[in-house]
A and B are shown apart, each in its own frame.
Chain A
Amino acid sequence: MRREIPLLITGVVGVIFVLQYFIPHAPFNQFNNWFSDWFSIIGACAIWLGALNLIKISADKIYRKRADWGYSVIIILSFLLIVIIGSSSWTQFRDAGTGFDWLYTYVYSPLSATMFALLAFFVASASYRAFRARNLEATLLLLAAFFVMIGRVPVGDAIGGALGIPESFMPSKITIWIMSFINSAGQRAIMIGIALGIVSTSLRIILGIERSYLGGD
């Protein structure tokens, strides 16, 4: 019964979800909202599981003085700081001028932006490795990347103009052509595969053939 009931729930909910896509009549038109609401409620309750797990594991690391336990101290202190300051403003914690707002604006946002900005350096290092003309495919990739990058910046067309390249063969035009035709074709092929994969996986789950998400086979 420990496995049958979850499988039954999955199957019934899955079938209802499929039906509500095709049936606009009540009550089917409400199911999507109901399930979304329930998922949000369960997710909100489950946040505590995550938070408690984080505190428990961090506290355990500090208690046992495991490797890098200093980072766990920072985790717990940061967690308590944001919870206490956020709670002190009660329901207005999002309002401008609150301590939580200050932390969000001057600590959280810059940290997030810093992590996102790191992406530029990672793109540079990954590109350096990827764009080496080792074989025909890699050479084509290199050429495509060159034209796309040069066509995305104003200097590309400026160089094209200086070299007297016809308007139709300007780097920006080549970029548009590469992105609209070659790139779109490749992306669509992948998208079709993904869509079929999702349908197949969903059907396996609804029919109870795929059970590994419940643990075991």
Chain B
Amino acid sequence: MKVKAVIILSAFLFLGAGLLFGQTPATDVATDSLQSPPPDVTPVMVRNVLAKDNPDDAGGAVVINWDLSVDDHVDGKVVAYKILRAEKQEGPFDQIGEVPAQSNQYMDNGTNDNKDYFYKILAVNSVKLEGRTSWQVTSESDTVGPVRSSAQWFDFRRLNVFVGMIILCTLIVYFINQAKAGKKLFIRKIAGLDAVDEAVGRATEMGKKIFFIPGTSDMDNVQTIAGVTILGRVAQLAAEYETWIEVPVSRSLVMVTAKEIVKEAYAKAGRPDSFRDEQVHYLTDDQFGYAAGIDGMVVREKPATIFLMGNFYAESLILSETGNSIGAIQIAGTGQPSQLPFFVAACDYTLIGEELFAASAYLSREPKLLGSLKGQDMGKAIILVSILIGIILETFNIFQLSKFFTVMG
């Protein structure tokens, strides 16, 4: 009796264990093979398939995630996953993509917005012999959907940039208003800009030319705009001192802008008749052609003063070292960090990065412009404090502040 009970209980336990652990997944076995697949090669299907509209984009994309098949491991039964899509739940499903094993995400970039889509993931096991598929088996996941793609009205990945921009713009506008109200604002001395008068005066005393080189970028570059802004002040000084200023440019649009600026500067100095069209002239768009042209002019004409203000690349040292070799006083400014050491080594004064953008305000001393400088400095102070706090927090692994400053997308 006892033996019978034990046998029956064992049979139940065995059956229960079989039901619990020996469950085979409900899989479809597809075979497009030359041979029949060997037994026990069908992978377990993937689970928890999730399809959703790709966030923070312009629409037209659905992102599909899933949990890897339990058979997806080294020497496992999964070699790839196929992604199927249909417009109706019952199908027909078409393959839209394939990803290798160990991938659990696929981005469907071929969707039409506001249209329903259904997805399935196939876990694939196959063997190739001599470049041909010998056999292939798949197991199909559950269908997910409907899902629709859509465009968003705000990219939340860039929220930190937006907040930073609002803070910075608020500070700048606040200090501009402060300056307008007559508040005295302290701006640190910038040696390179204080030397502008001296540099123009030197050219006047020597009876030689001034060269103003606005870099090799076009008017869509802020550094070029900053450069030609300084040109206005320098040209006005040159006009007052009756010194010839020449502006060789490498872009047609810069030529048009610079010509207008110099002409206006001469008019402001009360010498509109002294302006000559050939003072601002085009050389070439080619980087090294431009450098060669200017080098030739510098060596032949030996200007007393050279301004290099704008965006420069490899030609920076070719230009500034040639200017240095003829003994010209040189004032340079660029926002290209990799070119700054060259200018520092070859020029008398260098406006480092932000100083180039501050030049217009510094030279004009106009309160509104000075206010914007003050706002910029406050922004810098905020970043400085953030860096110090970040160093402390990250050192002790308390809080990852750097994540707030990471720009996504």
Contacts and interface: CB of A to CB of B under 8 A. Distances in A.
Interface string B207-218: 000000000001
B106 interface: no
Nearest to A122: B321
A210 B369 contact: yes
Counting contact residues on chain A (CB < 8 A from B), the size range is 35 or more
A65 interface: no
Given A60-B278, A197-B354, A209-B368, A42 B318 contact: no
Given A25-B153, A193-B354, A126 B342 contact: yes
Nearest to B364: A217
B270 interface: no
A213 interface: yes
Interface string A120-155: 001101110110000000000000000000000000
A16 interface: no
Contacts of A210: 229, 360, 369
B316 to A, nearest CB: 9
B391 to A, nearest CB: 11
A119 B345 CA distance: 14
B282 interface: yes
B264 A215 contact: yes
Contacts of B222: 198, 201-202
Interface string B62-79: 000000000000000000
B228 A22 contact: no
A212 B345 contact: no
A200 interface: yes
Nearest to B253: A46
Contact of B152 (A25, A126, A187, A216): A25
A54 B282 contact: yes
A26 B256 contact: no
Contacts of B392: none
Q: Name A's interface SS.
A: helix
B56 A24 contact: yes
A68 B300 CA distance: 8
A24 B321 contact: no
Which of B225, B352, B368 counts the most A-chain CB atoms under 10 A from its CB? Answer: B225
Nearest to A130: B345
Interface string B256-271: 1100110111011000
A50 B56 contact: no
Q: Which one of A46, A196, A202 has the greatest number of beta carbons of chain B within 10 Å?
A: A196
A53 B345 contact: no
A47 interface: yes
Nearest to B158: A22
The dominant DSSP class at the B interface is helix
Nearest to B338: A187
B151 A53 contact: no
A114 B285 CA distance: 17
A192 B261 CA distance: 29
Interface in B160-197: 161-162, 165, 168-169, 172-173, 176
Interface string A21-40: 11111100100000000010
Contact of A203 (B169, B225, B232): B169
A194 interface: yes
A200 B357 contact: yes
A210 B251 CA distance: 22
Interface residues of B, number: 87
Contacts of A67: 300
A180 to B, nearest CB: 15
A49 B252 contact: yes
Interface in B228-269: 228-229, 232-233, 249, 251-253, 255-257, 260-261, 263-265, 267-268
B317 interface: yes
Interface in A177-202: 187, 190-194, 196-202
Given A50-B251, A202-B222, A214 B286 contact: no
Interface string A47-79: 111110110010010000001100100000000
Contact of B317 (A46, A50, A112, A122): A122
Contact of A47 (B252, B366, B376): B252
A194 B354 contact: yes
B292 A190 contact: no
Contacts of B368: 209
B154 interface: yes
B126 interface: no
B155 A115 contact: no
Interface of A: 18, 21-26, 29, 39, 42-43, 46-51, 53-54, 57, 60, 67-68, 71, 111-112, 115-116, 118-119, 122-123, 125-127, 129-130, 187, 190-194, 196-205, 207, 209-210, 212-217
7 contacts: A22-B161, A24-B58, A50-B252, A51-B252, A194-B354, A194-B357, A196-B376
The 3 closest A-B pairs by CB, nearest first: A197-B357, A215-B264, A50-B252
